[in-house]
Amino acid sequence: MSSYCWGWGFYGLCQNCVSPPISATELCQFVQTARLGSMGGILKKVLLYGLLGAAVFTVGMLLGHFGIQKGGESSPEWLRDVSRDVDESLIERFIAEVDNTQIRENLRELTSTPHMATTEGDERTVQYMLKRWQDPDTGLDDAWREEYKVYLSFPNKNTPNKVTVVSPTSEVLFTAREKEKVYEPDQSHPDVVQPYAAYAPAGHPKGKLVYANQGKVSDYEFLNATMNLAGTIAIVRYGGAGRAAKAINAAPFGVIGVLVYTDPMDINDGVMSDVNETYPHSWYMPPSGVERGSFNTHFGDLRTPYLAAKEHTYRIPEADITGLPPIPTQPIGFEDAYTLICELDGPAAPSDWHGAFNCTYNVGGPGFKATSRFNNGDVNLDIYNKGELKNSSNVMGIIRGSVEPDRYIIYGNHRDSWVNGAIDPSSGTSVMLEITRVLGKMVKEGKWRPRRSIIFGSWGAEEFGLIGSTEYTEEYYSKLRDRTVAYINVDISVFANATLRVQGSPAAQSVVFSATKQVKTPGSNPTSVYDNWIRFFNRTSPAHGVVPNVAFLTGAGSDYAAFIHFLGITSMDIAYTYDRSKTKARIYPAYHTAYDTFNYSAQYIDPGFTSHQTVARTAGNVLLRLADSLLVPFSSTDYAESLEQYLSTALQNFNDRLAQKGISMEPLKNAVTKFRTAATSLEKLIQESDLANETPLKVRRINDQLMLLERAFLDPLAFPDKFGYRHVIWASKSSSVATFPGLADAFAHAQKTDLRQDWDQVYRHLSIVTQAIEGAAHSLEEVI
C-alpha cells in the first residue's frame, strides 16, 4: 500500500492518514468515467479523500508554523514577546539612571509652598505633576486628572481656634499659641494653616482640666474610679490610641473637650529647648510644634461611604457620619502642655503616664493647684472648625503594557500635605517623579515597554483620611478587582537614612528581597540594601533562615488601605527609616508641623538625598519585576508561613479557653494545613515547568492564581462595624495579640464579659477565618 496523502499532493505529510488510499488504477478509472460524465462511487471516494487530505494539510501547516523553536529568528514577534521574562540588564540601567540631584530638585519644587488638599498650593502641584507626566521626552503614555467632590474640615481663617484658661470672673489667665513659632521664612507663609483637629466639631466647652495620659478607654476608666469626669476638659498625649479615639473614648465619661499634645519623651528623646536642642539646631520638634491631623476613624470620603464621591453621588447627611470626635478637640504644642500639666492638682499619675516634663504629672483635682496662678480657673476651648464640600483631584498616569495590557501594577503616593510636607508626602512624590522620568524616557526612546500596564496615582486629600485613593478604588472597583496584580505605596519615602523598612503582604516578600539584593546602600563601600536591612529588622523563617522582617499591613496608615483591605490586592509600603536603637521617636519629629520643609529634609533627614535615591532604585526595581516578569513573582508558600505563624499564636493564646467553652480550633488548624499543601503543590508545579516554552495559557492561569490569592481572604460581611475592612487576615484590630484580627478582638471581648453571646461571636469569627483560608487553598489548586 502506498503511504501518502494525495489530496494536495504533499507526500509523507501524514503516515497512513487515509485508509485505504486511492490507487493509481482507481485514478485512471476516475479520469475515464469523468470524461463520460459519470463518476459514481469513485467520485464520492475521491471527494472524501480530498477533504480529509485538505484537513490534514491544514493541521500540518499550523503545527509546522507554531512548532518552530521559540526564540528562533523565524518565530513571530508576538510569540517572542509572550515568552519574554524580566530583563536584568534593563533593571541595571534603571538603577544607574536614577539621579539623586533630580530627586532633590523635585522636592524643592514640590515644597515651595504649603499645599494642603484643595488649596491653591495643591492645584499648583496638580499642574506640576501633569506637566511632568505629559512631557514629550520623559513623560508617560498618557496623564490626566480625575475630580472628586469630597467632604473636608477646615478651621476658620478669620476666627482662629483658641485655648485659654479663664478665672471665675472670665479674666483670661493664659492663652495657648495659635500658630507655631517662626524660625525660617517657610513658617511665615500666609497659607500655613493653624494647627487644628480636622473633623472635630465646633463648640465652646469650658471646664476643669484633667490629665488622661493617651486617651485610651483604660485611662479614662482609671480616672473615673476616683473622680467625676463630667464637665471636664482632658489633656492627652499622642500615642496609644488613634487621634479620633482620644475624644470618642472620653465622651462617654462626661468629658466635654480634649486637648492633644506631643510629649517630648515620645518624639524628642526628652529634649525640650529651642535654644540649643531642638529645631532649628537638630531634627527634634521645637516647643511650639504641633502635630496636625485628621480626627476620624474611617478612610475615604465620609459622606459617600462605598460610593465614589462624584458630583452626582448621593451623600449622607453630616449628622449621620460616624467615627468622628463627638466633642471639640484641639492640638497644642508641648510648651503650652507643659504650662498646663505642671499646674495640675490631685494625685500623681501612674509612672507609665509620665513624660519628659520636669514636674510631677498630676491627674488634676479636677483642676489646678490652689497655689497655682490658675487656681479655680477653667480651660476654655473656642473651636470654629467647619465641614465643606470641596473638589479634590487625583493625577493619574499610565505606561501601557505590550503583552498583558489588561494586567495592572499600580504605584501610588498622595500629593497633599498639612503644610509644606517635605517628608510627608513630598519625599515619596519626588521619588515617584524620578522613577517616572527614567521609565518615561525609556518608553519615549522606544527602548522598553513593560509586559503589563503600569498605573501611577498621585492621590488627593490623603491627609483627611486616605480620600483620593479610596474614591479611586470605589469608582473603578470592578476593573481593579479583576485586573490589578499589585499596589506599591511610597508615601513618606525617607523618615531618616539608616535602613529600609517594608510593610506588605507575605506573597510579595520574595520580590522585595530580590530587588533589595540588587540595590546598594549609599556610601563609599556599600553593602546591598538587603544586607543592611537585615541588620536592623530581621526574623527567623522556618523556610529561609534569618531574613529581613516585612511587617504586615494590618492598619490604614496610608493609601494602601483601600487596595488591600477593600479590594484584596497584594500591596506593599516601602520607605527608609531611622535606627530605632538610637532614638525613641515614634515618627520623625517634624511630622505634620510647619517645620517639615525642604531645608529640614536636606539638613537633618537625608543630606545628599542618597536615601531618596536608594528608595527610588528599590521601589522601581520591585515595580519593574512585577511589570515585566513572565511569572508574577509572588510566593504562596511565604503566605503559608505567615498563616502558620498566626495559627501558632492563636493556639497558644486561645485554645485552652475555647476548649472550655466547647469551641474547637481543629478546623482552623486543618484549614492552614490545607493551604500549606496547596501552596506547596503550586510551587512544585512552577518549579517543574519550563514556562517560557509552554503554552501562554498555562502561564496566565498560574499568574491569575497568584494575583487573585489575596482576594480569596475577603469577606464583605466579616466586619460590619469596620468601614472598608474586608480582609480577614489583615484587618485592623484592638487586641494586642498578633493573630487573626476578628478572632483576636472577639476573644478579648468575650474574656472581658464572659457572656454566651460574646463567645458565640468568637465561634463565628473562628468559622469566618477558617472558611477564608480553606477558600484560599482551593484557589491554589489546579481544578475543583
What are the residue numbers of the active site? 462
Return contacts of 3-9, CB within 8 angstroms, 24+ apart.
5/49, 5/52, 5/53, 5/56, 5/57, 6/49, 6/53, 7/49, 7/50, 7/51, 7/52, 7/53, 7/54, 7/56, 7/57, 8/53, 8/54, 8/57
If you write DSSP's letter for every residue of 70-131 in order, what string do you get? TTSTTS-HHHHHHT----HHHHHHHHHH--HHHHHHHHHHHTSS---TTSHHHHHHHHHHHH
**Contact criterion met (CB below 8 Å) for 381 and 205:** yes
Q: How far is residue 555's CA from residue 564's CA, in Å, rounded to a whole number?
A: 10
Strands 404-414 and 452-459: parallel
Q: Is the dihedral of CA 608, 611, 615, 621 positive or negative?
A: positive
If you write DSSP's letter for every residue of 218-236 in order, what string do you get? HHHHHHHTTS--TT-EEEE
Q: How far is residue 187's CA from residue 595's CA, in Å, rounded to a whole number?
A: 7
> In which element (H, E) is residue 144 found?
strand 142-154
What is the torsion angle, in degrees rounded to the nearest 10, for the CA atoms of residue 278, residue 284, residue 287 and residue 293?
160
Question: Which residues are within 8 A (CB) of 159 and not within 5 positions of it... i.e. 6 or more apart?
Answer: 384
> In which element (H, E) is residue 657 found?
helix 636-660
Choose among 410, 737, 399: nearest CA to 564.
410
Q: How far is residue 203's CA from residue 208's CA, in Å, rounded to a whole number?
A: 16
Choose among 530, 627, 740: nearest CA to 85.
627
Longest Cα–Cα distance in the chain: 134
Q: Which three cell numbers stand for residue 407?
A: 494586567
Instruction: Please name the residue that has the C-alpha cell 483560608.
Output: 773
Is 504 strand, coil or helix? Answer: strand
Is 615 strand, coil or helix? Answer: helix
Q: How far is residue 499's CA from residue 483's CA, in Å, rounded to a whole number?
A: 33
Is there a cis peptide before residue 325, judged by omega within 30 degrees of 0? Answer: no
Is there a cis peptide before residue 425, judged by omega within 30 degrees of 0? Answer: yes
Choose among 362, 194, 217, 196: nearest CA to 294.
196
CA angle in degrees (0–180, nearest 5) for 665-671-676: 130
